[in-house]
Amino acid sequence: MVADKKKLADDVRKRLTRAMREPLCELDHRNAFELLIATILSAQSTDRMVNQVTPALFARYPTPAALAAADQDELEDAIRPTGFFRNKSKSIRKASQLLVDQFGGTVPKTMDEIITLPGVARKTGNVVLGTAYRITTGITVDTHAGRVARRLRLTKQEDPVKVEKDLCAAFPKTSWIDMGHRFVLHGRYVCLAKKPRCADCPLNEVCKAAEHEPVGSWTARAERETATVVSRGGRLGGTPAAAVKDPYSPPSSEGLSA
């Protein structure tokens, strides 16, 4: 059984790497502090919505000290579109204050330290440490990644921390940061919660949850996933969105007669 899971994990890693060679975080940020706050805001929200809110937020509160001193009501208004704005406002103000008081105004570089910040659990810690610092502490597991891992039978767990433990055991540590991004992107754009695109999925042959027969070779499907992710706003290094057409968009009517 252990050998079978190792083979499965190797196949998954090979295929998702082909589809997403350089997966990137979808939250806009210029430094670890901005990524930390953006990740806290992303809970129960979308990265796209957070990216609409954070430019004005960081223009007004560019440092942990500034954000810690923010007026609660004004901060709530600034982040209201992300949802749960009252609790999030309290968390990011307290986290910023802790950064100032205990960490010299910088985001700490260990999991044990970063999870002491209000609003931060292992998922946020993995995102910030892996993306901002390239420090390997685990595999990011959100709703999308957990769903993909369970469908692939890489875990039976529902709790994100337990899912992460199973995934870390299955994949080499050198791949943890990028595989976390790949699982998130794959679940967000291909392995959807409803109506997953199984026929076009490069993992089809190794996924026991596949609902449809695969179309074409897995490498062709991997290329299609690349196009799907990038054209829909996902970020892959070296793959400009302008050069990619969404495989699921309807044919353009440009140039056709009425």
Sketch out the chain's domains with CATH numbers: 2-24+139-231 (1.10.1670.10), 32-132 (1.10.340.30)
Alpha-carbon dihedral sign for residues 227, 228, 231, 235: negative
pLDDT score recorded for residue 69: 97
pLDDT band at residue 239 under the 50/70/90 scheme = low
pLDDT band at residue 241 under the 50/70/90 scheme = very low
pLDDT band at residue 227 under the 50/70/90 scheme = very high
Is the pLDDT at 59 greater than 70, yes or no?
yes
Is the pLDDT at 139 greater than 80, yes or no?
yes
Encode pLDDT of 161-200 as tens digits. 999 999 999 999 999 999 999 999 999 999 999 999 999 9
List of residues 6+ apart from 232 with CB closer than 8 A: 189, 246
pLDDT score recorded for residue 252: 34
Is residue 197 within 8 A of residue 190, CB to CB? The reply is yes
Is the pLDDT at 107 greater than 80, yes or no?
yes
pLDDT score recorded for residue 245: 55
pLDDT band at residue 143 under the 50/70/90 scheme = very high
Share of the chain above pLDDT 70, in %: 91
pLDDT, the chain, mean: 91
What is the rounded average pLDDT of the residues 137-151?
97
Distance, CA of 160 to CA of 167 (rounded, Å): 10
What is the rounded average pLDDT of the residues 107-131?
97
Is the pLDDT at 251 greater than 60, yes or no?
no
Segment among 35-39, 43-47, 168-172, 236-240 with least mean pLDDT: 236-240
Distance, CA of 20 to CA of 201 (rounded, Å): 13
What is the rounded average pLDDT of the residues 104-127?
97
Catalytic sites, residue numbers = 123, 142
User: What SS3 class is residue 200?
Assistant: helix
> How many Cβ atoms are within 10 Å of 43's Cβ, its own excluded?
18
pLDDT band at residue 242 under the 50/70/90 scheme = very low
Encode pLDDT of 4-42 as tens digits. 889 999 999 999 999 999 999 999 999 999 999 999 999
pLDDT score recorded for residue 232: 79
pLDDT score recorded for residue 208: 92
